């Protein structure tokens, strides 16, 4: 009963059901790619379901702007952050996220003939903005992880590891590792979705792309429940 209550509470939250939809959607995409050679029609049905879930998430993200704006205004120029590199990366991340949301909204409106424009351009700008945000976040989390590892080594050398174990090898430490796996997986996929001729764009199979999406979604899911 406690598990059911926790699951219900998680799914009632916006981040909770978005995370669940992402996991299910990319799981279906991966399974679709796996079945592509054995049963083409079966594979297409799963791909269609995955696409519908993806479209649902796009619609739900129409409501993300106020929370993103509030977060950006609260962070501001990051004066509380001592590391100027981390501060700059967080500002870039915030700005890129706004461009991502706005262009995705415009692309969705264009796809539905509300906005008279070529949606492909807006989808591309949105994708590039997301990629910039991911790279900034990866660098930022890598810096934080290196800093934590250095602190850990110092404590080991000073025989203080026992008193500080819960602080350093704990929730935040595991979350950074998971976030890096998540963001690296999304980055591989994001480059795959770029126009042909850029690195490995268009070279991943549906199974590989679905697997990376599922891995990212599971990492995000674990971060939210640990």
Spatial CA neighbour of 141 closest among 100, 173, 163, 187: 173
Residue 39 has pLDDT above 90, yes or no: no
Q: How confident is the model at residue 87 (pLDDT cuts 50, 70, 90)?
A: very high
pLDDT of residue 152: 73
Residue 160 has pLDDT above 60, yes or no: no
pLDDT of residue 170: 67
Over the chain, what is the mean pLDDT? 89
pLDDT of residue 3: 78
**CA gap 111, 105 in Å, rounded:** 10
pLDDT tens-digit series, residues 179-212 = 999 999 999 999 999 999 999 999 999 999 999 9
Q: How far, in whole angstroms, is CA 20 from its chain's centroid?
A: 13
Please give the torsion angle defined by the CA atoms of residues 50, 51, 53 and 59, in that order, rounded to the nearest 10 degrees.
160
pLDDT tens-digit series, residues 6-33 = 888 888 888 888 999 999 999 999 999 9
Spatial CA neighbour of 26 closest among 140, 195, 185, 162: 185
- Backbone φ/ψ region at 14: left (φ over 0), alpha (ψ -120 to 50), beta: alpha
Q: Across residues 106-133, what is the average pLDDT? A: 95
Residue 96 has pLDDT above 90, yes or no: yes
């Amino acid at each position: 009963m406690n598990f059911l209550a926790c699951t219900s509470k998680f799914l009632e939250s916006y981040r909770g059901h978005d995370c669940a939809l992402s996991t299910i959607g990319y799981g279906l995409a991966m399974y679709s790619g796996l079945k592509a050679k054995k049963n083409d029609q079966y594979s297409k049905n799963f791909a269609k379901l995955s696409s519908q879930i993806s479209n649902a998430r796009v619609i739900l993200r129409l409501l993300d702007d106020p929370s993103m704006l509030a977060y950006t205004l609260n962070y501001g120029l990051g004066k509380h952050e001592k590391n100027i590199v981390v501060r700059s990366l967080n500002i870039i991340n915030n700005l890129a996220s706004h461009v991502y949301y706005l262009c995705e909204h415009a692309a969705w409106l264009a796809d539905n003939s509300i906005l008279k424009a070529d949606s492909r351009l807006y989808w591309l700008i949105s994708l590039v903005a997301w990629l910039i945000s991911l790279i900034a976040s990866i660098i930022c989390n890598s810096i934080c992880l290196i800093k934590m590892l250095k602190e850990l080594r110092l404590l080991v050398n000073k025989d203080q590891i026992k008193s500080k174990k819960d602080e350093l090898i704990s929730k935040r430490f595991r979350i950074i590792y998971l976030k890096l796996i998540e963001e690296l997986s999304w980055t591989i996929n994001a480059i795959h979705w770029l126009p042909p001729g850029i690195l490995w764009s268009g070279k991943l199979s549906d199974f590989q792309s679905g697997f990376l999406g599922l891995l990212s979604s599971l990492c995000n899911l674990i971060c939210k429940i640990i």
